[in-house]
Structure 1
Amino acid sequence: MPPAKVIWQICDNKRGHENQSSGLIHALSKQTKIEAIRVDIAMHRASWWQVVRGTFPSASTLPQPDLIIAAGSQTHSSLLAAGRATGAPTLLIMAPPKGLTRFFDLCVVPAHDQRQGPNIIQTTGAMNTVEASPNKAPNTGLFLIGGPSQHHNWDEASLWKQISTIIDSNSQLQWKLTTSRRTLESTTARLQSLESNQLEVIPVEQTKADWLPQQLARSSYVWVTEDSVSMVYEALSSGAKVGLLPGPRKAGESRIIRGLDALQQSKHVLSYSEDQTDLTSFKAPPPLNEAARIAKIVSHRFF
């Protein structure tokens, strides 16, 4: 049996970034034997001077890598320094500044960033660790609620009405609802007033790390506030039918809004309106599995 491929996963302790690199590594492990080594920049950060010199002090204490993967701007210098010091190919998830792009062997970039080049692969949204589940409960739904964000303002009254209308229009379904770290306390309190024999409200503070993946695995229908972009793509990867709960968008176009609009135009998601509250009849395309698709490309190119 051939030896395992050693992958260094350079991490910045941001859950959204690490979720993307972990999703890719998990998908690669289904194609070949992998030994993944987590390299935390809190302990192993490299300076830009070390990039220039081609040194990465931690390299002497770690197994020689076959591939180095990172996500997020704070990992750029460590990824480049580690690549130069070890000679291993470097893979960056998320778009770097344009002047840096050519220094990475491969960049995996969401299509809404509108970046192209010989070492760029575009994805539909963000990769993640969620996989489509065949064990869906047929009458089970999930609400995923975010909060004010860089691209969205917040309207509690409108959200409350949207959720009330969906529940009233789907009397055969049982729903769970959870919040996020960005959800306002007043929003959580108002949503808890909706709790009924059809809806159970579980604030994020009462959930464990594996709660959301478990719920996505069993839920047939998921409504997500459109500010919660990572949860939108996780829901789309789970095999559920997915709806967007619109919120007030801030002025000006952004890459995030472009991505959401593209999902609606491609019919990956149903956008809520008062006459569009029923996901059961929505004809969704096959689940996203961007991590598996990119893993095939990466494995062919580097392994």
Structure 2
Amino acid sequence: MVTGSPVSDLRKEQRPIAPKATPTTVHAPAAPPCWTLSIGVAGMLSQMHGLARAVGRDFVNIETRLRSPWRWFPLSAIPCSPRVIRQHDAIAGDTSPQLVISCGRHSVIPALWLKQKFGDDVLTVHIQDPTIDPGRFDLVVAPEHDQVRGSNVIETAGALHRISQGVLEEAAQSPAADRLRVDGRPLVSVILGGPNRYYAFPEEDIARLAGRLDQLVRTSGARLAIIGSRRTPASLRERLYNSFGNAHFVWDGESENPYLTALAIADAIVVTGDSVSMVSEAAATGHPVLVEYLSERRRARRFRRFHESFQRRGITRPFEGRLETWSYEPPRDTEAVAQIIRERLSQG
């Protein structure tokens, strides 16, 4: 089978193959149904936990990190051994989890060590490009813009996530909805990321976004629900609060985060383009998603491929300071991948 087949085709064709709440490292109890391995950043947790829930499994979250100097080595040059893993006692027991979901560079060796140790007793699923031979995992789940190739690779449109129709329906009924809505005015939720390796959020980017939001409000009469993240620069938060804090909702970063409600009840969503996960979660709503493209501090080829793909699919459009409406079929990657995993587990 050729990589890049739709998820539904992979499900039909694939056969078993042989062998804050910032999370803290936990010691795995006896016989947990699923372990999730990562360094614990929000984007990774959202993907792993969303997939585990879609599979229908409780999970134990375990932080994994490589020791120095191994953390600087190419993964292909690192031995599959517990001695390269910091605090490896969390995964050192003799009882095998049935399912291991890993995400990110620091989870690759721990997941492979568990596979080496327990063999067919554990199903290993890695999310994102593992940067080594994907055939060393039972399944690799990677978005098409990562261009990962392999007979066991499940290609998705965007990032996996926790957003489902049930989650959105529940969020729409939460008390936060009354704080965000104003009768007779469209609601535009503004989801903000922050600096990373590819985007610096310079002052000109911040000024441009604020100006476009002001134009949107003046031309459409919309009410804004502005939700920042842990990465959002203080200068951006302050700029938008000073501009919109009196007449609109600007989350203070300390009270309960109404993020899910803001997605669920929005008439449209504006999201900064620095996060595949944020755009993918916004797209799960079926609401128009307007992407604020940012200045690149270094060439962001993967981000470009992702954004081009979502535009071709009719999911997103560039944000140009006006309210637009259109419809599309939201990607259902998380549930499709979960179904493949359920079938693999039932075969084991």
Of the candidates 141, 154, 159, which is equivalent to residue 121 of structure 1?
154
Note the alpha carbon deviations across 1:82-122, whole angstroms, 9 max, x for none.
11212212111111113x32211110011101112101111
Matching residue of 1:18: 45
Matching residue of 1:109: 142
What CA distance in whole angstroms lies between the structure 1 residues aligned with 2:54 and 2:313?
Answer: 25
Task: Name the count of aligned residue pairs.
Answer: 284
Residue 238 of structure 2 aligns to a residue in which SS?
helix
Note the alpha carbon deviations across 1:45-103, whole angstroms, 9 max, x for none.
x9835279xxx8656747432221111110111101111212212111111113x3221
Give the direction of change, closer, same or farther, for the CA distance of 1:81–1:186 in structure 2 (3 Å limit): same
Note the alpha carbon deviations across 1:167-205, whole angstroms, 9 max, x for none.
11221x3221122233322222221122266422224x2
Matching residue of 1:164: 214
Q: Does 1:206 align with 2:254?
A: yes
Of the candidates 90, 104, 108, which is equivalent to residue 76 of structure 1?
108
Matching residue of 1:298: 341
Q: TM-score, normalised by structure 2?
A: 0.73
Give the direction of change, closer, same or farther, for the CA distance of 1:157–1:118 in structure 2 (3 Å limit): same
Contact 1:6 1:63 in 2 (8 A): no
Of the candidates 196, 217, 239, which is equivalent to residue 264 of structure 2?
217
What CA distance in whole angstroms lies between the structure 2 residues aligned with 1:110 and 1:268?
Answer: 15
What CA distance in whole angstroms lies between the structure 2 residues aligned with 1:149 and 1:36?
Answer: 29
**CA RMSD between the two structures:** 2.9
Please list every run of 5 or more consecutive structure 2 residues that lacks an aligned counterpart in the other structure: 1-30, 71-77, 174-180
Of the candidates 174, 177, 195, which is equivalent to residue 148 of structure 1?
195
Identity of aligned residues (%): 23
Contact 2:276 2:306 in 1 (8 A): no
Matching residue of 2:288: 241
Give the partner amino acid of 1:148.
P
Residue 48 of structure 1 aligns to a residue in which SS?
coil
Matching residue of 1:178: 227
Give the partner amino acid of 2:211.
K
